[in-house]
Structure 1
Amino acid sequence: MTRTVARVIVDALKELGVSHVFGVVGDALNPLTDAIRTTDEVDWVGCRHEEAAAFAAGAQSQLSGTLGVCMGTVGPGSVHLLNGLYDAAKSRTPVLAICGQVPLAEIGSEYFQEVDNDLL
C-alpha cells in the first residue's frame, strides 16, 4: 500500500506523541482528517470554531506537556486559529497549526478565500 502525504503527517504526529487533533473539517483538510480517522493512536476532535480548536490544542499542551495540534481550512479557517495560537505562544507552550490552502495553481490569483498563510 502506498503512503500518502496525509498518512506520513499522521505517522509523524504519532511518533511525536500527539493523541488528539482539534479542528473544523474542510475540503482542503479531507485527506488528513481521513488519515486521522483510520488511525487508532490519534483522535480527531471536531470543534464548532477554529478559534476553539486552537485554544483546546494550547490547553492540552499546557496540561500534558506534549505538542498540541489544531487544524483550520482555507482562508478564514486558518485566520480563526490566530487567537489561540497567540495565546499558546504567550504561554510558551508548543502548538502545531496545520492549515489548508487553495490549489497550488491558484496561489496569487486572488482565488476565493485565499490567504497568505506564510505572511499571516
Structure 2
Amino acid sequence: MKLRELAHSRAGDKGDISNISVIAYDSKDFALLESFLTPARVKLHFAGVAQGEVRRYSLPALGALNFVMEKALGGGVTRSLALDAHGKCLSSAILDIELPEPPESP
C-alpha cells in the first residue's frame, strides 16, 4: 500500500532545506506511520536528493510527522537549476513510499 492511501503531505523550503509534513487522514493510522517512516527510510527514499541529514519531528496530537532534509534543494532556490527549486513536488514524492499493510482489526 502506498503512503498516499493513509496520509497527505505538504512541503516547504528555506535555503537548501526541505521541510516535508506527512499528515494521517485518520489518527488510528498514525502509529503505523510513526513506526515505519523513520529518518533513515525517508533519506533512502530521497537518495540522490537529500544530501544531508534528515530529522523527524513527531506531532501525535495532530497525527503528523515533519521531516527536515538538509542539502536537499540543489543549493537553494536562488542557486538551484532544478525545475522545482522550492521542492514543492517532494510532498508528492514522499507519498509514493510503500507501506506494509496495516494489521486487520478483530
* TM-score, normalisation: structure 1: 0.26
Q: Give the number of the structure whose residues are more often strand, by fraction.
A: 2
Q: Scaled by the length of structure 2, what TM-score is found?
A: 0.28
